[in-house]
Amino acid sequence: MRVLIIGSGGREHALAWAIAKSPLLSKLYVAPGNPGTAALAENVMLRPTDLAGITAFARERGIDLVVPGTEAPLVAGLADALAGAGIACCGPSAAAARLEGSKLFTKQIAEAAGIPTARWESFSEADAAHEYLERAGAPIVVKADGLAAGKGVVVAASLAEAHAAVTALMEERVHGAAGASVVIEECLTGEELSVFALCDGEEAVFFGAAADHKRVGEGDTGPNTGGMGAVFNPPWATPEVIERAMTEIIRPALREMARRGTPFRGFLFAGLMVGPDGPQLIEFNARFGDPECETVLPMLAGDLLAALLAATKGGLRDVRAAWRPGGSATVVMCARGYPGAYATGSEIYGLDEAGAVPGVTIFHAGTMMGETGGVLANGGRVLAVNGVGQDLREALGRAYAAIDRLDWEDGFCRRDIGWRALRG
Ligand code: AMP
Ligand code: GLY
């Protein structure tokens, strides 16, 4: 099999790492990839949203399967373009990727399918949104309808904060057109859980659960980020919660998407709040999570490529994902300033020493190769350091031991990843 992965982050490095182990693989490309994927695959200088370029490359090189890691090409219609050229793609069509591209669409699907979720209203006029906030009160959640790189959601503890969010999103358009309309919803309480399912349009196979730490600051404080770290299978991912997530949330959504003529294929990511009434849907994403992917895939016992092929060809019925025993945790090293403005180009030393810690795999998230062969920071989230061990405590200890061997002046990480899971 000749496989092409699309993206350049830690998630795509982890996908490449897992696919590279498959006996089915003959050649692996990543577009555009990063210095981490360059060690496993051939990087191809194509932008993820260059649909024509990717399709032409896939045709020329006889690619058997395209695996998009990131959402932008899916929302832009990569799977449709590839389907038009007869090339298999393990990702949703643009119509099905609306589950991620629009918060409002997700809410409408949830409503139609009877999926448990927070009560909500949507607004395309700032005045009406401000008025609604006065009636609803705080705490309350304000969300940009469109894609905003994981930064379009404000969980407002006070009305002042909520009004400021509406002003920033709708009036100042800090995230551009993504804020043209907003969803305002009830604030849910409980523990967050990311549940993944591999889907073939009809069937869904559970593909791991992880808890992500989204806030930049320790104790889960400060602004939201793409994710500062994650743990595999936290204690609140009980078999009952997973079963309910699959039967009450994932499968009803799949049925509703198929009923609408837009079946969902690929990784469906359900962001859940697990509270006293069980799991409730916060959001869907049309792809694997990042850094969840770097946390879940090291625990996968089976052949990832075989599962992706089954999903693409509609043969998921016989697929079961099997998991290794023990714990897994990922800590993200970020560039100082993230999620605000940050500098790029500083050199990271000690990667080999850090990667030599037992049980540790370092996934490159935002790096580039310097002219003299060193690895330079080239993004907000720069490295995703995964540790696996007998249990979560050992996994975390190993990830932090690796981080302590890194020498990178401009980097920082949270020192408390996994605290909620360790608390029991
Ligand atoms: P989203 O982009 O929808 O995943 O939202 C980002 C983060 O905001 C989530 O991971 C939650 O931490 C938080 N959040 C979103 N919606 C709610 C809600 N209804 N209640 C409480 N927290 C929420
Ligand atoms: N870590 C959350 C996400 O990938 O959206």
Q: Give nearest CA residue, ligand 1 atom 6.
A: 153
* CA-based R_g, the chain, Å: 20
Ligand 1 pocket check for 141: Cβ under 6 Å: yes
- In short, whether 178's Cβ falls inside 6 Å of ligand 1 is no
Average of per-residue pLDDT values in the chain? 96
> Phi and psi of 203, rounded to 5°?
-95, 155
Q: What is the pLDDT of residues 393-407, one digit of tens each?
A: 999 999 999 999 999
> What would the two tokens of residue 242 be?
């997973």
pLDDT grade for 110, boundaries at 50, 70 and 90:
very high
Residue 13 has pLDDT above 90, yes or no: yes
What pLDDT, on a 0 to 100 scale, did the predictor assign at position 424?
63
Query: Whose alpha carbon is nearest atom 8 of ligand 1?
Result: 153
Confidence of residue 151 (pLDDT cuts 50, 70, 90): confident
Average pLDDT over residues 126-143: 96
Q: Which domains does the chain have, with CATH numbers?
A: 2-94 (3.40.50.20), 125-180 (3.30.1490.20), 191-318 (3.30.470.20), 327-423 (3.90.600.10)
3-state SS class at 80: helix
Q: Of 103, 120, 151, 153, which is best to mutate to test ligand 1, by the most ligand atoms within 8 angstroms of its C-beta?
A: 153
Name the closest ligand to CA 120.
1
Residue 31: pLDDT over 80? yes
Question: Where would I find the H helices in 248-291?
Answer: 251-259
SS3 of 316, please? Answer: helix
Angle at 40 between CA 373 and CA 386, to 5 degrees: 90
347 band by pLDDT with thresholds 50, 70 and 90: very high
Within 6 Å (CB) of ligand 2, which residues are found?
A: 150, 212, 226-227, 285, 289-290, 292
**Residue 271 CA, closest ligand 1 atom number:** 4
| Higher-pLDDT residue of 318, 30 | 30
* pLDDT classification of 290: cutoffs 50, 70, 90: very high
Does the pLDDT value for residue 382 go beyond 70? yes
pLDDT at 266: 97
Tell the residue nearest (CA) to atom 5 of ligand 2: 289
- Specify the range with the lowest mean pLDDT, choosing from 146-160, 279-293, 410-424: 146-160
- Per-residue pLDDT tens digits for 83-101: 999 999 999 999 999 998 7
Q: Whose atoms come closest to the Cα of 284: which ligand?
A: 1
Cα(154) to ligand 1 centroid in Å equals: 8
Q: Of all residues in the chain, what percent are helix, strand and coil, respectively (each to 5)?
A: 35, 30, 35
- Report, as an integer, the average pLDDT of 41-69: 98
Q: Enumerate the β-bridge partners of residue 281.
A: 117, 272
* Ligand 1 atom showing the smallest separation from residue 189 Cα: 21
Encoding tokens for residue 182?
């907003």
Nearest to 294 by CA among 56, 34, 87, 89: 34
How many angstroms is it from 128 CA to the middle of ligand 2? 30
pLDDT at 408 over 80: yes
Whole-prediction pTM: 0.95
Angle, helix 10-19 to helix 304-312, in steps of 10 degrees: 100
> Other C-beta atoms within 10 Å of 286: how many?
27
| Mean pLDDT, rounded, for 382-386 | 98
In the reported structure, the alpha carbon of residue 290 is separated from the centroid of ligand 2 by a whole-number distance in angstroms of: 5
Q: Which atom of ligand 2 is nearest to the CA of 227?
A: 1
- Mean pLDDT for 301-322 is 91
Q: Which of 194, 196, 231, 417 to mutate to test the pocket of ligand 2 (most atoms within 8 A of CB)?
A: 194
DSSP line for 154-207: EEESSHHHHHHHHIIIIIS-TTGGGGSSEEEEEPP-SEEEEEEEEEESS-EEEE
Tens digits of per-residue pLDDT, 225-255? 889 999 999 999 999 999 999 999 999 999 9
Is the CB of residue 224 below 6 angstroms from any atom belonging to ligand 1? yes
Which amino acid type is present at position 220?
A: D
C-beta of 100 in contact with ligand 1 (< 6 A): no
In one-letter notation, the amino acid at residue 313 is: K
